Amino acid sequence: MVKICCIGAGYVGGPTMAMIALKCPLIEVAVVDISVSRIAAWNSDQLPIYELGLEEVVKQCRGKNLFFSTDVERHVSEADIVFVSVNTPTKTQGLGAGKAADLAYWESAARMIADVSKSNKIVVEKSTVPVKTAEAIEKILTHNSKGINFQILSNPEFLAEGTAIQDLLNPDRVLIGGRETPDGQKAIQALKAVYAHWVPEDRILTTNLWSAELSKLAANAFLAQRISSVNAMSALCEATGADVSQVSHAVGEDTRIGPKFLNASVGFGGSCFQKDILNLVYICECNGLTEVANYWKQVIKVNDYQKNRFVNRVVSSMFNTISGKKIAILGFAFKKDTGDTRETPAIDVCKGLLGDKARLSIYDPQVTRDQIQRDLSMNKFDWDHPIHLQPMSPTAVKQVGVTWDAYEATKDAHGVCIFTEWDEFKTLDYKKIFDNMRKPAFVFDGRNIVDVEKLREIGFIVYSIGKPLDPWLKDMPAVA
């Protein structure tokens, strides 16, 4: 029986290994983590992450061929294939701070693998890492290996949160990079055989190590670039009277461009896009490719511009002051169908509104009060370095309320901001919300999910990203 161990029981390690266990009943899969609470949650009825369909898969395999454990060393030493799916956040200090990937968690995992291994192993990079990381990992493993043969593979993960199970069941492609030596090719075939249990062979791509590592950064950069492109267009639409949804549709009908990932929004979020582009920028700079670095940097700059633009639009629409005004925030997660708030645009926009002394009343169906308060009290990049956590300042605490109901959040509010495209926000009783709000009542839709005409008929003043402006907003000062 082949034994697999995955170091890191997070958003990637947990679902990915659960899928391997489901599709390969003869493979024993152990998912290990240093976080005792995370492993306890994986072993409970309350899984540590919310993901459609995940619970069913875990329940089907847990205790049979899928195990969650904190006994990291034992499971690593017994495994034939070790996946490493630890976090690789942006560095907050030292060389490359604010851009480079922090590989401290990865390196400590690699040293541990070298220390405890007694037999040959395939070590798989599942985390997203800078191109050439495998070279460093190889050095760490072989310098400590006591004659053990380690083969390093790069097998980046392309799942998106909210659709992780579907993405894993039916991936566009699985990418495996390895050394071009006979041993490297043998390792590629061994990992390919695992995926071949359910993924058609023609969708399993094999490349050299560096192409696989770089393809992951490239894919995320391309995806994020589409969003910044459409968001840049949304600003021009507002200035000219064009409608960004119509423009996106017309552009996306071109089969060379395609319709996906062209929704204008308050900005992209999530743990990957910004981190991976910054990482790409850093690698370009280190290779002396300043023009290339600047090109990709612009994707992040436009994303920041979009969030700032939103704050400015709220403030300027509400007579240039939101001081002391209650503003309801609908949605805090970085996208629908997840409780994940890492790098959610809601954090930056809420901080902007708090900076102008608004009172916020926040509702998200999947995000807890504690999480929201932690997020609003953290500095940029601290989300993946919990050690730096600062308590929220007493004034800020007073300005933020968290509710478990959209109607409660919007009661007596001057304005409503929508930051996550949760389906339930499309079918709210907006007449009831309007009746319970201060007048004039504003809706600022950061996801283009409300029926603008219907809301205007009710009496709302509506701002929807990239849509022709409400006559009321046209009279307000221009937004930077």
Task: Name which of ligand UDX, ligand NAD, none residue 10 binds, using a CB cut-off of 5 to 8 Å depending on partner kind.
Answer: ligand NAD
**In this complex, which beta carbon is closest to ligand UDX, that of residue 88 or of residue 263?**
263
Closest C-alpha among 310, 134, 290, 297 to residue 228: 297
Residue 158 sits in the site that holds ligand UDX (CB under 6 A): yes
Give the Cα separation of 92 and 29 in Å (integer): 33
Q: Which of residues 215-274 bind ligand NAD (CB under 6 A)?
A: 271-272
Residue 28 sits in the site that holds ligand UDX (CB under 6 A): no
Part in contact with ligand UDX (CB under 6 A); list of ranges 129-137, 141-149, 265-273, 281-289: 265-273
Residue 434 sits in the site that holds ligand UDX (CB under 6 A): no
State which residue has the least CB distance to ligand UDX: 270
Task: Name which of ligand NAD, ligand UDX, none residue 407 binds, using a CB cut-off of 5 to 8 Å depending on partner kind.
Answer: none
Which of the residues 272, 284, 350, 417 is marked catalytic? 272
**In this complex, which beta carbon is closest to ligand UDX, that of residue 74 or of residue 297?**
297
For residues 84 and 110, the answer to whether their CB atoms sit within 8 Å is: yes
Q: Which of residues 11-70 bind ligand NAD (CB under 6 A)?
A: 11-13, 33-35, 38
Q: Which of residues 202-231 bind ligand UDX (CB under 6 A)?
A: 220, 223, 227
Among 66, 82, 86, 354, contact with ligand NAD (rule: CB under 6 A): 86
Single-letter amino acid code for the residue at 108: S
Residue 283 sits in the site that holds ligand NAD (CB under 6 A): no
Residue 155 sits in the site that holds ligand NAD (CB under 6 A): no
For residues 13 and 31, the answer to whether their CB atoms sit within 8 Å is: yes
Tell me whether residue 284 is one of the annotated catalytic residues. Answer: no
Q: Which two tokens stand for residue 291?
A: 């023009």
Among 159, 187, 441, 465, contact with ligand UDX (rule: CB under 6 A): 159
Q: How many residues does the chain have?
A: 480
Binding mask 317-356 for ligand UDX (x = CB under 6 A): -----------------xx---------------------
Instruction: Report whether 10 belongs to an annotated binding site.
Output: yes
Residue 261 sits in the site that holds ligand UDX (CB under 6 A): yes
Residue 161 sits in the site that holds ligand UDX (CB under 6 A): yes
**In this complex, which beta carbon is closest to ligand NAD, that of residue 103 or of residue 262?**
103
Instruction: Report whether 128 belongs to an annotated binding site.
Output: yes
Instruction: Report whether 149 belongs to an annotated binding site.
Output: no
Part in contact with ligand UDX (CB under 6 A); list of ranges 258-266, 286-294, 398-406, 411-419: 258-266
Count of residues touching ligand NAD (by CB under 6 A): 26
Query: What's the longest Cα–Cα distance across the chain?
Result: 75
State which residue has the least CB distance to ligand NAD: 10
Instruction: Report whether 131 belongs to an annotated binding site.
Output: no
Which residues are at the interface with ligand NAD (CB under 6 A)? 7-13, 33-35, 38, 72, 85-88, 105, 108-109, 127-128, 157, 159, 161, 271-272
The residues carrying an active-site annotation are 272
- Provide the annotated binding site for NAD(+): 8-13, 33, 38, 86-90, 127-128, 161, 272-275, 342
Which residues are at the interface with ligand UDX (CB under 6 A)? 157-161, 220, 223, 227, 261-263, 265, 268-270, 272-273, 334-335
